[in-house]
Amino acid sequence: MAEVKTAKFKKASSQAVSDPKLQNTLEHVMGHFIEARAGAIEEFGDESWDQMRERASSIKKHALENLDYYLDLIDRTIQKNGGHVHFAKDTQEANRIVLDIAKKAEAKRVIKSKSMVSEEMGLNKALEKAGIEPVETDLGEYIIQLADEPPFHIIAPAMHKTKQEVSELFQDWLRTAPTQDIKQLCIIARDALREKFSTADIGVSGANFVVAETGTVVLVTNEGNGRMTTSTPKIHIAVSGIEKVLPAIEDVGLFLRLLPRSATGQRITSYNTFVSGPKFSTDEDGPEEFHLIMVDNGRLNLMRDPEFREALKCIRCGACLNTCPIYRKVGGHSYGWVYPGPIGAVITPVLTNIKQSKDLPYASTLCGACRDVCPVKIDIPKLLLKLRHMAVEGDSSQRSVSWIERLMIGQWRKTVSTRSSIERATNLARFLQVVVTKKGIIRNLPLPLISGWTKSRDFPALAPKSFAQLWQEKFSEETDG
Amino acid sequence: MVEKETKTDKSDFLQLVREAIGRKTPLLYAPDYPPLKSNYTRQQEKVRTITAKNLARKSKILDQLIENASFAGWNVHRVSDHESAAEKIGEIAASVKAKLAVRTTETILKSVNVDGALRSKKVTPVVLASGRYRSKSDLKEVAFKADLGISGVSFAIAETASCVLIPRKGVARLTSLAPPVFVAIVQADQVLENLDDYFAMVRLQFQKTRGRYPNYTNFVSGPSRTADIEQTLTIGVHGPGIVHMVLVG
Ligand code: SF4
């Protein structure tokens, strides 16, 4: 399994909030994501978008409640299609399945398209140890592979890297000339990876959805590396969490409407790839072997609890990260494992180690914004509260709360003293959920973060926008007077 | 070196899943899930209704496709017949200064004489089909060398500006993927209104063939793109950065 550094959450987030370059990037990129998403869902109107989310949520609920049946169906269907399905209890087992396939094929090089589950597995390290070269081919993943870092964001793994840094990485690893031209950087990566595509023995992909009825792995991509990975090598291995199941092929349309809009604000991504097995013997090209590895790795611990089971509905769109006031300050690496942000704060403790990850459930103001954007309507704040109850006894909870409060307020002070921009202060006040007066005095509102978690259960969700308005009203009161 | 085989058995695994759900034994019947329930006849009926709807709304749907495709980054060319389609493709090839073009052998490419049009622009047309190459890597090499890929589509979806490509004999996966420029020839009667229309048809076909449905399908819904560096949209990473849709009819 990928190294778990969740115990360092406090230290890592303190560093992140006082890193001005990172703060700039986060503000810029997150704003972009939120805007794009809002634009993309507009065409449906609030009501029908909400109905779509409701439907998606109930489809996932049904799939999870009958998961044993659907996993069996997937196995039978894919076998019939000429492929193989493997079930792995943990990441060790999943890695071994990949390595066994690789050894049998005498593979030397594996190309990968983006897969969060393979990040969980630490698959690249496992392959390297076995003397096999793993090559990430998603541009963002490629960059962080060169930098030897975990993904910063579920769908934008290298968003924290500047073009300057990318150029330096390419200079070091590919001996290319320095350039600040992003298009040129893409071409460098394209050329470097072309060679890998044409020589790799195995392609490893993730799975955005696995359709039980037809035994189909659905990939949602933009660059074309997902298509390459499933086209050029002679073996394709897809790794998936067991929760990615959709029962019917006719469920796919709805999820293809929800996922890209929530993730990148696109109506659809450039490519959707549907793989149900190896190439037919009459096909011109494509892998002769197809394997699907369905990985548990702690997901059944979520499944066992009817409330936490909800977290398994997640389709990894990243919208909750983008909207989360804490993620937007502490960034992706602070969370210390594979999944950052609100959903990461929920599932990481359960998938890894609750004790070690006890600070993660406090990485939230419980403002409810994550729940409001989630395309499958996961009530993340509720689950975070539940984790807080589970992870701590008495005092330490209060300590953690006041810790994140202090961290954020410290950040706020700095912001106001260095930049008086209303916009920035508004953002901060919004996530701190405090009212700011002209003299820089903070007046607490009886809101979850400040008043501690015990009372927060009944507190109504606070939409970020309306709070901003509220704050602005207060602000103008103060300044007018 | 022999490693101990500790692979989790499927039935053990499913039993763990079951217990986590809170059930002791497998389901006796398939779960009650409407989208899985409708039988072949009912699905046929459903698809018939869809087809009739799309026929009645044909010109609207075509307009929608053109609008959405342009928005998604396709260069859309509407032509009235096969001859002008071929001519258009020749022009596209010339405009990107192509030397080598790869194509599929679909029926539409028998009607649209792209080879002639390409040759008249001094572009060499090559069919990308493994029978013609000594090995798979030769096919890859040609595909990676080509400046232009040309193929028909199985469907187009107006809602998402998607071309549905299903590889098979004569239709290599790499034709629409490896060259930097891709041209899709779409016939007006292949255009569906939305994603749900398409998946209803897939299901019917799946039922009809008793599961012998193609193992691989791609939607191509615009140029290859990335925003992985500084959230700046860049076109043409691993797939074609320039995509043309030649809509016939
Ligand atoms: S929890 Fe919801 S919003 Fe967050 S990544 Fe998962 S699906 Fe997206």
Going from the first residue of chain A to its last (481 residues), give the mean pLDDT of each consecutive group of 10, the final group possibly shorter.
83 84 83 87 92 97 97 97 96 96 96 92 95 93 90 84 92 92 91 90 97 97 94 96 98 97 93 97 94 96 92 95 87 85 89 80 85 95 86 47 56 47 44 36 34 29 35 38 29
Going by alpha carbons, the residue nearest to atom 2 of ligand 1 is: A374
Percentage with pLDDT > 70 across chain B: 97
Residues of B in contact with A284 (CB under 8 A): 128-130, 139, 167-173
| pLDDT on residue A7 | 81
Measure the CA–CA gap between A145 and B92, rounded to whole angstroms.
38
Of A138, A182, A283, the CB nearest to B167: A283
Domain regions of chain B by residue span: 40-220+234-248
Q: Which residue has the tokens 């993620």?
A: A327
**Token duo for residue A429:** 């006040």
Q: Which of B75-109 are b and which e, b meaning 16 or more Cβ less than 10 Å from the residue's Cβ?
A: bbbbbeebeebbbbbbebbeebebebbbbbbbebb
Measure the CA–CA gap between A377 and A372, rounded to whole angstroms.
7
Residue of B nearest to A166 (CA): B229
Q: Which residues contact A280 (CB under 8 A, 6 or more apart)?
A: B168, B214, B215
Q: How many CB atoms lie within 10 A of CB B211?
A: 15
| pLDDT on residue A411 | 55
Measure the CA–CA gap between A75 and A292, rounded to whole angstroms.
9
CB contact under 8 A, A247 and B33: yes
Going by alpha carbons, the residue nearest to atom 4 of ligand 1 is: A320
Which of B82, B119, B83 is CA-nearest to residue B100? B119
Residue of A nearest to B243 (CA): A270
Element (DSSP H or E) covering residue B150: strand B148-152
CA of A412 to the centre of ligand 1 (A): 28
Measure the CA–CA gap between B35 and A26, rounded to whole angstroms.
42
| pLDDT on residue B6 | 60
Ligand 1, residues at Cβ distance < 6 Å: A 262, 314-320, 343, 373-376, 378
Q: How many CB atoms lie within 10 A of CB A28?
A: 12
CB B195 within 8 A of CB B35: no
Q: How many residues does chain A have?
A: 481
Question: Cα–Cα–Cα angle for A251, A253, A255, nearest 5°?
Answer: 75
Mutate to test the pocket of ligand 1, among A258, A314, A348, A382 (most ligand atoms within 8 A of CB): A314
Q: What would the pLDDT profile of B225-247 be if each residue is shown by its tens digit?
A: 998 888 888 888 899 999 999 99
Measure the CA–CA gap between B66 and B77, rounded to whole angstroms.
9
Q: Which of A250, A257, A267, A275 to mutate to test the interface with B (most CBs of B within 10 A)?
A: A250
CA-only gyration radius of chain A, Å: 23
Measure the CA–CA gap between B164 and B150, rounded to whole angstroms.
14
CB contact under 8 A, B169 and A71: no
CB contact under 8 A, A273 and B217: yes
| pLDDT on residue A407 | 60
| pLDDT on residue A374 | 96
CA of A319 to the centre of ligand 1 (A): 6
| pLDDT on residue A408 | 60
> Please, is A20 exposed, middle or buried when counting C-beta atoms within 10 Å of its C-beta (0-12, 13-18, 19+)?
exposed
Q: Which residues contact A48 (CB under 8 A, 6 or more apart)?
A: none
Domain regions of chain A by residue span: 67-300, 403-480
| pLDDT on residue A377 | 97
| pLDDT on residue A447 | 35
Question: Cα–Cα–Cα angle for A20, A25, A29, nearest 5°?
Answer: 155
Looking at residue B174, its amino acid is L
Residue B5 scores a pLDDT above 90? no
Q: What is the CATH number of domain A67-300?
A: 3.40.50.10420
- Mean predicted confidence (pLDDT) in B160-189: 96
Chains A–B, number of C-beta pairs less than 8 Å apart: 265
> Please, is B37 exposed, middle or buried when counting C-beta atoms within 10 Å of its C-beta (0-12, 13-18, 19+)?
exposed
Of A143, A252, A278, the CB nearest to B215: A278
Q: What is the CATH number of domain B40-220+234-248?
A: 3.40.50.10420
| pLDDT on residue A338 | 85
Q: What is the dihedral of CA B170, B172, B176, B180, to 10 degrees?
A: -110
CB contact under 8 A, A62 and B33: yes
Q: Which of A59, A87, A270 to mutate to test the interface with B (most CBs of B within 10 A)?
A: A270
Residues of A in contact with B146 (CB under 8 A): none
Q: How many residues does chain B have?
A: 249
| pLDDT on residue A153 | 84
HSE-CB of A40 using CA atoms within 13 angstroms: 26
CB contact under 8 A, A273 and B68: no
| pLDDT on residue A279 | 95
Mutate to test the pocket of ligand 1, among A262, A299, A335, A350 (most ligand atoms within 8 A of CB): A262
Measure the CA–CA gap between A202 and A112, rounded to whole angstroms.
8
CB contact under 8 A, A270 and B223: yes
CB contact under 8 A, A137 and B238: yes
